[in-house]
């Protein structure tokens, strides 16, 4: 699915930004100029996602009548999410940014998900972590940007909701919230409402994150870049929250010497 968008306040002199998200089952790519979205594309992820990623980037740039050389900034979702997908997206951005020395902005999937709530506060972003768990984090907003009120957590959906149970008003957003609506309704009780609140300040609500995550990554990357908050390809790091299976097995002594050497462990 692709979309071409031109904002009425298009910033002609702002840097062209390419943003990627490969943290979930849906890959999304967005091109923006400053904080203004030019176009985006999203497609289902599979085992060949990394192989096709560059072709998808090229196709979107052609649709926007741009080339990769014109890009002055890269934004990427750093997770948490699927380990294989995250590594593919991070490797792609590192490769694109490293040689020309272009700046990078990393945005977590929880920040990007919360950003889709359109500045409402507080917002509990919930992203599927597989194996029945979710990643979650609570945010307020400052000038349109999510500000973390607690640390990212991987837990059961029930534990994630209980963590914010004392708050009178919470907007839950993300695929983890949608798939675990029953827990939110059960714990929220009479505070639950459907649609927009009629009485602000005392309600719980579930909102789908309808925009591709790369669009939110682009928006936040544009904001942070304008403040000079960028990093290099070398300094960019993933936000896993939960250790990979290989790391868990390593701690349990279940990996052979050959695999240990591949992980850089003696």
What pLDDT was estimated at residue 114? 96
Report yes or no on 94 lying in a domain. yes
Mark 127-164 as b/e (b = at least 16 C-beta within 10 Å).
Answer: bbbeeebbbbbbbebeeebbeeeeebbbbebeebbebb
Does residue 264 fall inside a structural domain? no
Domain span holding position 85: 2-109+212-246
Identify whether residues 17 and 101 lie together within a single domain.
Answer: yes
Asked if residue 167 is part of any domain, the answer here is: yes
Check whether residue 47 and residue 165 sit in a common domain. Answer: no
Q: What is the pLDDT of residues 38-92, one digit of tens each?
A: 999 998 876 677 778 989 999 999 999 999 898 999 999 999 999 889 999 999 9
pLDDT at position 16 is 93
Query: Is residue 22 domain-shared with residue 55, that is, in the same domain?
Result: yes
241 and 221 both lie in a single domain: yes
Q: What is the pLDDT of residue 34?
A: 81
Q: What is the rounded CA–CA span in Å between residue 168 and residue 175?
A: 22
Q: Is 252 within a domain?
A: no
194 and 232 part of one domain:
no
65 part of a folded domain: yes
Residue 1 near residue 58 (C-beta atoms within 8 A): no
- Per-residue pLDDT at 242: 77
| 232 in any annotated domain | yes
Stretches where the chain sits below pLDDT 70 are 1-13, 46-47, 195-202, 243-266
Q: How many domains does the chain have?
A: 2
Asked if residue 136 is part of any domain, the answer here is yes
Q: Is residue 86 part of a domain?
A: yes
Closest CA to 17 of 224, 157, 240, 250: 224
Tell me the CATH number at 36.
Answer: 3.30.420.40
């Amino acid at each position: 699915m692709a979309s071409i968008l031109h904002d009425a306040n298009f910033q002609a002199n702002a840097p062209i930004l390419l943003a990627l998200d490969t943290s979930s089952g849906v890959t999304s790519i967005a091109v923006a100029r400053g904080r203004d979205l030019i176009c985006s594309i999203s497609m289902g992820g599979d085992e060949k996602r990394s192989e096709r990623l560059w072709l998808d980037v090229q196709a979107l740039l052609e649709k926007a009548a741009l080339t990769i050389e014109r890009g002055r900034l890269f934004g990427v979702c750093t997770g948490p999410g699927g380990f294989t997908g995250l590594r593919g997206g991070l490797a792609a951005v590192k490769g694109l940014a490293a040689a020309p020395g272009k700046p990078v902005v990393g945005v977590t999937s929880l920040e990007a998900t919360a950003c889709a709530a359109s500045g409402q506060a507080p917002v509990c972003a919930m992203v599927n972590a597989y194996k029945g768990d979710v990643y979650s984090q609570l945010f307020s907003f400052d000038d349109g940007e999510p500000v973390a009120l607690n640390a990212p957590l991987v837990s059961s959906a029930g534990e994630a909701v209980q963590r914010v149970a004392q708050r009178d008003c919470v907007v839950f957003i993300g695929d983890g919230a949608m798939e675990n609506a029953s827990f939110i309704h059960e714990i929220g009780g009479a505070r639950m409402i459907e649609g927009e609140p009629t009485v602000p300040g005392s309600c719980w609500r579930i909102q789908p994150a309808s925009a591709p995550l790369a669009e939110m990554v682009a928006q936040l990357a544009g904001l942070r870049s304008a403040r000079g908050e960028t990093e290099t390809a070398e300094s960019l790091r993933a936000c896993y929250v939960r250790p990979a299976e290989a790391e868990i097995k390593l701690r349990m002594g279940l990996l052979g010497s050959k695999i240990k050497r591949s992980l850089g462990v003696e």
